[in-house]
């Protein structure tokens, strides 16, 4: 059995690969069409103009769906591993809500381009990366409390390292963005897609874009730590029939005296 056939580990792997592919595809397309500069543009800039913004939006919507599914599976896994630890169960539920908010933020970022509706795009970015960073913090805290009796200390250390990487990228991006905007008063920065080396604000702009790419990849890398965990879990849905018919009123004679059924939606062989 291949590694990706074990449990649900294909889910976080698909999330990471698909999201990276959406970034790379949008970047290559935008650079080839000369919509952005090749040297580290903002991720949002690569998905601003047609046709790349159309594909970028669709691909990020799929990433959001994969993110929602991954966060839910993680929630169910931790819930099953915990006994009667009320604090951890509450923390786990908070993590579920934060993860779903961050995933929804990806949809907002992808569908509200910065050049068309910048305030909403900014809200989406805060949901994706800001709330996403808190989600990573919550999961790292749970990893701390769950080691060593549920998983190894190495898992906690790796997640802690990614958390520090994420927070460092956020701080660097925020500070450099403030400096950039303060040095470009009167300039419509969200619509500025081309930069000339040496012009005012170029250096903080470059620091800001590099920080954004670092932040994106740190956030995505966190889900790689779920692959080994998800190899040990499977979920299945069960269909419970409450009646042997779908009529609202009188049951036809042909359907009478038939027992109700409970049937697994995903049935296996015995």
Does residue 236 fall inside a structural domain? no
3-state secondary structure at position 263: strand
CA 256 to chain centre: 49
> Is residue 268 one of the residues assigned to a domain?
no
Instruction: Quote the pLDDT of residue 259.
Output: 53
Q: How confident is the model at residue 114 (pLDDT cuts 50, 70, 90)?
A: confident
Say if 247 falls within a structural domain: no
Of 17-26, 31-40, 124-133, 245-254, the range with the lowest mean pLDDT is 245-254
Using one digit for the tens of pLDDT, what is the confidence trace for 61-101? Answer: 999 999 999 999 999 999 999 877 889 999 999 999 999 99
The HSE-up count of residue 94 (CA atoms within 13 Å, CB side) is 15
- Spell out the alpha helix ranges (H) of the chain: 10-32, 43-46, 52-81, 86-111, 118-125, 132-146, 153-183, 202-222, 226-230
Instruction: Determine the Cα–Cα distance for residues 214 and 82; give it in Å rounded to an integer.
Output: 33
> What's the pLDDT band for 251 if we cut at 50, 70, 90?
low
Number of domains comprising the chain: 1
| Distance separating alpha carbons of residues 193 and 44, to the nearest angstrom | 10
* 171-203 per-position pLDDT tens digit: 999 999 999 999 998 889 999 999 999 999 999
What number of other Cβ atoms are within 10 A of residue 239's Cβ? 11
Question: Is the dihedral angle over the CA atoms 100, 103, 109, 110 positive or is it negative?
Answer: negative
For residues 122-134, average pLDDT: 96
3-state secondary structure 82-115: CCCCHHHHHHHHHHHHHHHHHHHHHHHHHHCCCC
Residue 27 lies in a domain: yes
- For residue 262, the SS3 value is strand
> Is 5 or 94 the better-scoring residue by pLDDT?
94
- What are φ and ψ of residue 251, in 5° steps? -85, 130
Domain annotation covers residue 72 = yes
The pLDDT value recorded for residue 185 is 85
- Looking at residue 135, what DSSP letter applies? H
User: For all residues of the chain together, what is the average pLDDT?
Assistant: 90
| Prediction pTM value | 0.89
- Residue 126 near residue 174 (C-beta atoms within 8 A): no
CA nearest to 50, candidates 58, 41, 62, 38: 58
| Antiparallel, parallel or unpaired: β 262-264 and 238-240 | antiparallel
Task: With respect to residue 225, please indicate whether it lies within any of the assigned structural domains.
Answer: yes
Share of the chain above pLDDT 90, in %: 71
Please give the distance of CA 42 from its chain centroid, rounded to a whole number.
18
Sort 185 into a burial class: Cβ within 10 Å, 0-12 / 13-18 / 19+: exposed
Domain that holds residue 215: 9-231
Q: How far apart are CA 211 and CA 201, in angstroms?
A: 15
Let me know if residue 188 belongs to a domain.
yes
> Which range among 73-82, 246-255, 259-268 shows the weakest confidence by mean pLDDT?
259-268
Domain assignment present for 65: yes
Cα first-last separation, the chain: 20
């Amino acid at each position: 059995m291949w590694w990706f056939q074990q449990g649900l580990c294909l889910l976080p792997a698909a999330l990471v690969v698909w999201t990276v592919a959406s970034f790379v595809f949008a970047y290559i397309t935008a650079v080839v069409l000369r919509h952005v500069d090749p040297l580290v543009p903002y991720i949002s800039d690569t998905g601003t103009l047609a046709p790349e913004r159309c594909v970028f939006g669709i691909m990020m919507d799929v990433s959001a769906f994969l993110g929602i599914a991954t966060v839910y599976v993680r929630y169910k896994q931790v819930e099953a591993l915990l006994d009667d630890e009320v604090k951890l169960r509450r923390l786990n539920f908070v993590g579920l809500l934060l993860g779903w908010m961050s995933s929804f933020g990806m949809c907002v970022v992808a569908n509200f381009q910065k050049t068309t509706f910048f305030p909403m795009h900014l809200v989406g970015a805060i949901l994706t990366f800001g709330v996403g960073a808190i989600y990573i913090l919550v999961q790292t805290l749970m990893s701390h409390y769950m080691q060593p009796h549920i998983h190894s200390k190495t898992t906690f250390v790796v997640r802690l390292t990614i958390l520090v990487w994420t927070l460092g990228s956020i701080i660097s991006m925020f500070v450099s963005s403030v400096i950039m905007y303060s040095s470009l008063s009167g300039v419509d920065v969200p619509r500025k897609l081309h930069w000339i080396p040496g012009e005012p604000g170029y250096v903080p702009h470059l620091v800001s874009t590099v920080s954004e790419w670092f932040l994106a990849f740190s956030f995505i890398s966190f889900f790689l730590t779920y692959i080994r965990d998800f190899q040990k879990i499977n979920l299945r849905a069960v269909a419970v029939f409450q009646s042997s018919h779908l009529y609202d009123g009188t049951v036809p004679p042909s359907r009478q005296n038939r027992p109700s059924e409970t049937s697994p939606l995903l049935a296996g062989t015995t």
